[in-house]
Amino acid sequence: MSLMKCRSLVRFSRGQHGLVAVEFAVLVPVLVVLVFGIVDLGHAWYMSQIVTNASREGARYGVTYRANSSGARLAPSAFSPTISNYVLNSYLARTSLPPDASPLVTAGGTGYSTGAKGALLEVTVTATKNWFVMSIVPGMGTQKVLAATTVMQCE
């Protein structure tokens, strides 16, 4: 009788009927986190490209030659709208940055205050990327500040 019990235990231990369901239950959460992590990193890359293009657009706007009604050269600091308002309201308003990105545009350099031909104008755009999934990875934190700076010569 004990031999029969041993054979049935061996046969029972070789059964694979529920093994696929257990493996599926173990692997699905890992795969879901992996897929959403890839989406999160892709979104960060997309936001980085928007920030870079916004700084370029602001610098292009600031280095163009403009004159007042009497023909005197205007410094980019005197432009209306300002470089910051132009980038925030014209360029970034057309993009799909998330509302919690809090974009910030700063302009500087000697070209910003003088507007002299050949002077350098520097435009920096920053935005905050709040992680959806990547915050569970140690060392990633809950957010990352994305920044881009473009330097161009005034025309």
In tens, the pLDDT along 90-111 reads 989 888 899 899 999 999 999 9
Task: Output the pTM of the full model.
Answer: 0.81
Cis peptide before 98, with omega less than 30 degrees from 0? no
Cα–Cα distance measured from residue 152 to residue 103, given in angstroms and rounded to the nearest whole number: 21
pLDDT of 1 reads: 52
Tokens of 99: 């509302």
Task: Give the three-class secondary structure for 126.
Answer: strand
The per-residue pLDDT for range 37-91, each reduced to its tens digit, is 899 999 999 999 999 999 999 999 999 999 888 988 999 999 999 999 999 999 8
Q: How confident is the model at residue 133 (pLDDT cuts 50, 70, 90)?
A: confident
Buried b (16+ CB within 10 A) or exposed e, 44-76: beebbebbbbbbbbbbebbbeeeeeeeeeeebb
Q: Are 36 and 133 in contact (CB under 8 A)?
A: yes
Show me where the domains of the chain are located: 26-153
Tokens read off for 23: 């493996």
Sign of the alpha-carbon dihedral angle for 86, 90, 91, 97: positive
By the 8 A CB rule, do 23 and 115 touch? no
Whole-number Å distance between alpha carbons of 84 and 89: 8
92: burial class by Cβ within 10 Å (0-12, 13-18, 19+)? buried
